[in-house]
Amino acid sequence: MDSLGWDSCDIILITGDAYVDHPAFGAALIGRYLESMGYRVGVIPQPDIQSTEDFLRLGTPELFVGITSGAMDSMVNHYTSLNRIRSNDAYSEGGKPGKRPDRALLKYVNLAQRYMPGVPIVIGGIEASLRRLSHYDYWSDRVRKSILLDTKADILVYGMGERAAGSIADALSSGSDIHGIRGTAVYTSIKALEGMDTGQHIELPSHEEVSGSSDAFMEMTKLLESEISPYSGSTIIQRADSRAVIVYPPQFPLSTEEMDRVYELPYSREPHPIYTDDIPAFRMIQNSITVVRGCAGGCSFCALGLHQGKLISSRSLPSVVREVETLTGKRYFGRTVSDLGGPTANLYGLGCAGGIVLEKCRRYSCLYPEICDNFKTDHGSYIELLDAVAEIKGVQNVFVSSGIRYDVALRDTGFIKKLVRDNVSGYLKIAPEHFAPEVLELMRKPSPDLWRRFKDLFERTSREAGREQYIEPYILVAFPGCDLNDMYKAADELREQNMRPEKSQIFLPTPMTMATAMYHTGISPDTGLQIYVARKPSHKRRQIEVLPGHSREKRRK
């Protein structure tokens, strides 16, 4: 601030992550975006909650303080699916845990209100986004109110947040009202609500109703899913005691030009020089490039549709090439681009063809139960991008490591053959998640037949190319509706395919997803019937132990 001649910041961002000036880290992206609008932005990473001085190290901002717990929900960051404390934190220096508190958003907001009285508080990031309404909290095993009501922040930003953060900054700078901004939520009193013009809206079951009724909780979750599109979604209102939360419709997805601008802001692509040890999360992505946003899959366990949205945004080829050229000059670049991807790499350049269908669509998934006729599946743009990056001077290899949707890839088998020949590092990550048809239906994942077709084509093409390559399957265990017999089906399929999952994970109920609603209520959203839910840690462990390769693999008697 001294070197820039600033006597104060316009905006201060507080984050639970270590600071890495890279677009894969939310505080850096939002900070650089606001800076590009002309605002003076400071960032305080992982403040010491015992220190007043640490919170006030940059003074008090002129416009607002923005608070995020970081790239992960702080409770997911701290605890495993068996509720054990994690031994590391990939978003902290040296991977050391303990740099952020449990329920970091609540703690940070409380301290900001104490130390910066009267300064507007904006909360955002994944923890705020997925707790914007009443939600089941696995760690306390109860339904909690919107985090807006718990924190009493002035406004909540959900989703990726650039546009909303910029609109809030402009409104506060000009003295305008911050209500009504897409991609945000606010709260008011019930009395004030009655006199407000909220336009077209739907009202969810109240917090009291969803806390006391499984049916009401499932109804709320279904309504939420039906309103996730910015083209057809309405304003959502939910009452809780004497207050009401108002969630405005999502922001529209970024255009290609906007994506290019956001990802080409002047990031250093380095951790802040205050750190002497590495930051594992940065090491994992330092040689990768984000080329696509959003996920059209709509998997019931995934928060992407509720956070980034189901609509796809892709960057232009020249923009990606320019970023890779910048990357080749970095000290840590080893001639290999580890990933050109995003939530799902091969959805680059794809998505809804638009038109009237998009404006009326209320599907939670573009790909399940069948790929929508309006969804483009030609991988030509992605193939062109992979080839263009491979031609850049200083680049020896270009790999795809963020995973692909094999049901979409099977619509363009030429892409699979190109991928296998040129862009697999030896292992390709694929997430069939399960093999029992009944469980896959609850997950909203493709049938095992598609998985087998993809695997056969992958292996045949690898042999023809003279390459020894393998699929690395990802399996989700103890999912709602999955019992021990279902896990035996999955284990049998893996043995039949001569595969051992390198990664298998016990289902962790995260706020707001349909799978978490199933876990909490024990109800199938499709049939309304009761389903089995493995809740005891011993039952969850028993399911994972039947998988081939597990150290305590158990055979069926």
Residue 364 lies in a domain: yes
CA 196 centroid distance within chain:
33
In angstroms, the CA 395 to CA 397 distance is: 6
DSSP string across 260-290: HHHHTS----EE-TT--S--HHHHHHTTEEE
Q: Quote the strand ranges of 161-221, DSSP E.
A: 184-189, 201-203
Residue 489 sits in the same domain as residue 556: yes
Which of 147, 163, 187 is at the close of a domain? Answer: 187
Same domain, 297 and 405: yes
Confirm whether 227 is domain-assigned. no
Residues 381 and 438 in one domain: no
The total number of structural domains in the chain stands at 3
Q: Quick one: 366 and 488 in the same domain?
A: no
Task: Tell me which of 350, 381, 410 is where a domain ends.
Answer: 410
The pLDDT of residue 557: 38
Q: How far apart are CA 277 and CA 351, in angstroms?
A: 40
The dihedral over CA atoms of 271, 276, 282, 288, expressed in degrees to the nearest 10, equals 80
Whether residue 350 lies inside any domain: the answer is: yes
pLDDT of residue 140: 97
Q: What is the DSSP string of 417-435?
A: HHHHHHS--SEEEEEEE--
Looking up residue 489, the CATH number of its domain turns out to be: 3.30.750.200
Are residues 337 and 448 both part of a single domain? no
In CATH, what number is assigned to the domain containing residue 354? 3.30.750.210
Q: Which pLDDT value is given to residue 172?
A: 98
In a domain, 256, yes or no: no
Does the residue 199 lie in any domain? Answer: no
| Residue 260 placed within a domain | no
- Residue 5 zone, left/alpha/beta (φ > 0; ψ -120 to 50; rest): left
pLDDT recorded at residue 115: 96
CB 143 within 8 A of CB 137: yes
- Residues 368 and 505 placed together within one structural domain of the fold: no
Check whether residue 387 and residue 441 sit in a common domain: no
pTM (2 d.p.): 0.95
Same domain, 145 and 59: yes
Are 20 and 156 in a shared domain? yes
In which domain, by residue range, is 347 found? 287-410
Does 173 lie in the same domain as 48?
Answer: yes
Amino acid found at 191: K
Statement to judge: residues 15 and 163 lie in one domain = yes
Q: What is the pLDDT of residue 500?
A: 79
Domain CATH code at residue 121: 3.40.50.2300
Q: What is the DSSP string of 501-536?
A: -SEEEE----TT-HHHHHHHH-B-TTT--B-----S
Out of 166, 187, 208, a domain closes at 187
Q: 259 in a domain, yes or no? A: no
With respect to residue 274, please indicate whether it lies within any of the assigned structural domains: no
Report mean pLDDT in 10-residue bins for the chain, 557 residues: 95 98 97 98 97 94 98 96 96 96 97 97 97 98 98 97 97 96 97 87 97 98 94 95 97 96 97 96 96 94 88 97 97 96 94 87 93 96 98 97 92 96 92 94 95 95 93 94 96 90 89 97 97 97 89 46
Question: Do 327 and 472 reside in the same domain of the chain?
Answer: no
Numbers of helices and strands, H then E, in the chain: 23, 24
pLDDT for the residue 416: 96
